[in-house]
Structure 1
């Protein structure tokens, strides 16, 4: 004999699946839980860490970089000798921003940032992406 009356097992499975999907969606939208307000300004890039070879960052295009320690940033090369870098997590809730032409867009809630400056173009984010100080050293881009 079945321990669950007819249909109860199916309702229980559907409810558990829906709860799991909700938890997964919330996890994807933030780093470090909490779910409220703007996130930390620390992109995890440490001084002295190499981000990329200069030749791997095209002029005028945002380029994603991950350091050996796991720090993440977008690099932007405005000309042959000028590179800026910004944290890769949206300042609204911490979702990973994605390049879209000369902008960085948050797929979770729609914030848009200027790739060259990290400034907010449209919200809900209210703060710019955190700047990462970088320098060009022997044709490599290194965090300062």
Structure 2
């Protein structure tokens, strides 16, 4: 076999491989499209029926570039109730008694997690994990935990304590009004 024949055979083999790769790539994309919808649905909380979209915290777009700044401590600490009735521009998340000292509670409908690092000091963050947009599921051992890929965030400032999350949870404005924790509009 001559060098020209070998070169021609090699060129045909390369073209065949390119065509096969294109077909496989197309099939993979089509397969992923069919699989990704149920997977994305599995990541949602599924209980958005009771939420009020106009008053809940906007979820950050997991495909957007994460903010490079750390969350500010703009979530006010509240040591004393400010009034007995929540203001009309606030979203009542739940009773203060639901948030243990040294722990926290995830308010899934509002996509907010409220923590109480020290007695009377309440902090709040978006419950949307900065890794893949899953909703965090629990607060334990002084971390806010995401069930999807194991990211953990500090209860005091929302900073990343472990896992693949690229950035901290964004702070959310809350206050204690009466016996309730309310999110500012």
Q: 2:134 aligns with which of 82, 95, 107?
A: 95
In structure 2, distance between residues paired with 1:38 and 1:114: 21
Moved more, 17-26 or 48-57: 17-26
In structure 2, distance between residues paired with 1:36 and 1:22: 15
Which residue of structure 2 lines up, in the alignment, with residue 105 of structure 1? 145
Q: Secondary structure at the match of 1:71?
A: coil
**1:60 maps to 2:102:** yes
* Residues 115/63 of structure 1: CA separation in 2 closer, same or farther (3 Å cut): same
Q: 2:172 aligns with which of 112, 116, 132?
A: 132
Higher helix fraction: Structure 1 or Structure 2? 2
Equivalence map 1:1-144=2 (5 Å):
20-29=34-43, 36=63, 48-66=90-108, 70-99=109-138, 100-144=140-184
Moved more, 21-30 or 88-97: 21-30
Partners of 1:38 and 1:92 within 8 A in 2:
no
Partners of 2:44 and 2:135 within 8 A in 1:
no
Q: Alignment RMSD, CA only?
A: 3.2
Structure (1 or 2) with the larger CA radius of gyration: 2
Query: Which sections of structure 1, spanning at least 5 residues, go unmatched?
Result: 1-16, 41-46
Higher strand fraction: Structure 1 or Structure 2? 1
Partners of 2:93 and 2:110 within 8 A in 1:
no
* TM-score, length-scaled by structure 1: 0.65
